Chain A
Amino acid sequence: MLETVLDYSLQDLMLFSPEVYFRSLALYNQNIWPAQFIAALTSVYLGYLILGKPATSHKTIGIILALAWAWCGLIFHITHYSSINWFATVYGGLFLAQACLLLWAVLKTTHHSILQQEHSLINLAGKATVIFGLFIYPFLPLLTNSYFLEGQTWQEGQIFGLFPAPTLTVTIGIALMSQNYPKPLLIIPLLYTFIEFLSAYLLGSLTSCIFVGLIILLLIYFAKKTTSKNCQIY
């Protein structure tokens, strides 16, 4: 299959139109109703834990993240998105693997919190990314409608835990805030950020900029961790 796929250009692998993609988001929201209520409450609770009590909540945060990745893999990718994109089954597998890795990290981490309250630029960027993923991402269609993403409506809003993109965003934000976030846990997020960027770019959506930003943040994070584990930017 890989050999068959590699014979195509990137554009050839965009299997659907923007109209179909955005409608599929709205249809998914319709199908999973009222899961959005639980997801919204979870977002508020997670925001409180990450921003208010990061030093003592790492296990709860890790479990919520694992559940979010598992839901996105199983319900969004494998059950829903695969109807228009056969790559989605592979994405679903990656998301389930990430959920397992997160659970493994939760069980393994016993001695101290992975989240820090340090005053560094990268930590601040992490907090901003978490806030963006939890509380701004779901409203992007309203903010961008008629400016950047023609045809988007509030029904297409993407909530953390139910949709891959905000789940990915929050996960990366948490990684940026943490002192010793396990690097293997960032491989799938980095890979999927790149996939989201390509998809958004091919759909002509300016949300591709978000994913470029996330990739840059992750690369800065990796560079920082490589040069000095405790280096603070200011």
Chain B
Amino acid sequence: MKSFIDRRSLVKFLVANTALSATALWAGSLPTLAKTPTPFYQKPIPKTGLMIPAIGMGSWITFNVGNDEFLRNERTKVLKAFFEAGGGLLDSSPMYGSSQEVIGYGLQQLNFPKGLFSATKVWTNFQSQGVKQIKTAKQLWGVKQFDLLQIHNLAGWEKHLVTLTDMKEKGRLRYIGITTSHGRRHDEVEQIMKTKNIDFVQFTYNMHDREAEQRLLPLAKDKGIAVIINRPFQRGALISHLASKPLPAFAKEIDCKSWPQFLLKFIISHPAVTCAIPATSKVTHCQENMATMHGTLPDAKMRAQMSAYVDTL
């Protein structure tokens, strides 16, 4: 744990975000934000300065419901709750079964909310297949172009980086990223971050999996690479582990009413983290996650206190 938010930075951050949220409301770019109180945590993408909400949404397992119309509509309700709470970054992959198709179904039902920051991946070792996957993904999502395309788990990354760079240069893609999860291939991720021109990196970071604090998070900050955090709840295992344990009294100081909020606030308060992407299939859980973007963010001292408390459980 090398660098955390100090109180002065935190105050600046809150003021900036309150102002930005108000601007967004005035401009009508995020119309549903009117239902949510401020402050509303957004973080900048270092390469462009574009602000995105600090809580996004993943779709691993949760959106893979196939042709089940009832469940598709249920997931659409989750998407609706997500965008109503000011959500932006939505992440998927060709690996996630029907998730992209179900997201596309939901987005169409919701008339493609303006706050959407579309992020998906290529997941193949072959360049030509990657190109096909991108084309298919556009059709499945129903979007003309993606905001962010990532190379899933570094599969065939050298070849896909050529494709994605070309797309970006031609204005057909805004950002390029690479992903990994559960601590896999961190050395290779680090090398790519050091040597290649990427905008985003995605990896696992949560209260139990904190290896990224050592090298990846500081490196991302140094290189100006936006960071997406996957598996913030360790695929639910962290919440299951903590569910029967009491929240510490100091959780009130950072406006946390539940363990998911406690875990998410720990993640998004790291200065190198841009966005965390918890996945859920329930509207109430989505609302609970999104509420993390309000209230007080923990500072460095509080983050240390949070991790020390969880370590004792």
Q: How many Å lie between the Cα of A186 and that of B263 in the bound state?
A: 49
Q: Give the contacting residue for A85; candidates B71, B97, B181, B182; CB below 8 A.
A: B97
B171-213, CB < 8 A from A: 181-182, 184
Binds A, one of B48-56, B57-65, B80-88, B238-246: B57-65
A133 to B273, CA, bound (A): 53
Instruction: Determine if B184 and A15 form an interchain contact, defined as CB atoms under 8 angstroms apart.
Output: no
Chain B residues with CB below 8 A from A23, complex form: 68, 70-71
Most buried by B among A4, A19, A27, A86: A4
Number of residues from B at the complex interface, CB < 8 A: 23
A15 to B60, CA, bound (A): 7
Q: Flag if A15 contacts B155 (CB, 8 Å).
A: no
B123 at the A interface (CB under 8 A): yes
User: Most chain-A Cβ atoms within 10 A of its Cβ — which of B66, B96, B184?
Assistant: B66
Q: Which A residues touch B68, using CB under 8 A?
A: 20, 23-24, 27
Q: Interface residues of A toward B: which range?
A: 20 to 34
Decide if A4 touches B124 in the complex (CB within 8 Å): yes
**In the bound complex, how far is the Cα of B154 from the Cα of A3, in angstroms?**
12
Scoring B65, B235, B281 by chain A CB atoms within 10 A of each residue's CB, the highest score goes to B65
Tell whether A37 is near chain B: CB-to-CB under 8 Å.
Answer: no
Inter-chain contact A1/B125, CB cutoff 8 Å: yes
> Which of the residues B61, B70, B124, B184 comes within 8 Å of A16, measured between beta carbons?
B61
A window 1-36: CB within 8 A of B? 1, 3-4, 7-9, 11-12, 14-17, 19-20, 23-24, 27
Point out the residue from A7, A11, A84 that lies within 8 Å of B66, measured CB to CB.
A84
Give the Cβ gap from B235 to chain A, nearest Cβ, in Å.
8
| A145 at interface, CB cutoff 8 A | no
Residues of A close to B182: CB separation below 8 A: 9, 12
Q: CB of A120 within 8 A of chain B?
A: no
Residues of B within 8 A of A16 (CB): 61, 64-66, 97
Whether A17 contacts B125 by the Cβ 8 Å rule is no
B98 is contacted by which of A3, A14, A83 (Cβ under 8 Å)? A83
Nearest-Cβ distance from residue B187 to partner chain A, whole angstroms: 14
Judging by beta carbons under 8 Å apart, are B64 and A84 in contact?
Answer: yes
CA distance A12 to B70 in the complex (A): 25
Q: Given A4-B124, A7-B184, A27-B68, are A15 and B97 neighbors across the interface (CB < 8 Å)?
A: yes
> For residues 119 through 139 of chain B, which have their beta carbon under 8 Å from a beta carbon of chain A?
123-125
Complexed CA–CA distance, A212 and B89 (Å): 43
The smallest C-beta distance from B34 to any residue of chain A, in angstroms, reads 33
Known: A7-B153, A9-B182, A15-B96. A20 touches B125 (CB 8 A): no
A24 & B153 in contact (Cβ 8 Å cutoff): no
Question: Which residues on B sit within 8 Å (CB–CB) of A4?
Answer: 123-125, 153, 155
Bound together, the chains give a CA A12 to CA B180 distance in angstroms of: 12
Does the CB pair A84–B98 fall under 8 Å?
yes
Q: Pick 16 A–B contacts, CB within 8 A, sort by A.
A: A1-B124, A1-B125, A4-B123, A4-B124, A7-B155, A16-B64, A20-B65, A20-B66, A20-B68, A20-B71, A23-B70, A23-B71, A24-B68, A27-B68, A83-B66, A84-B65
| Chain A residues engaging chain B, CB cutoff 8 angstroms | 1, 3-4, 7-9, 11-12, 14-17, 19-20, 23-24, 27, 83-86
Closest CB pairs A-B (n = 6): A83-B66, A84-B66, A15-B97, A4-B155, A16-B64, A84-B97
Q: Assuming A12-B181, A23-B71, what are 4 further A-B pairs, CB within 8 angstroms?
A: A7-B155, A15-B64, A20-B64, A27-B67
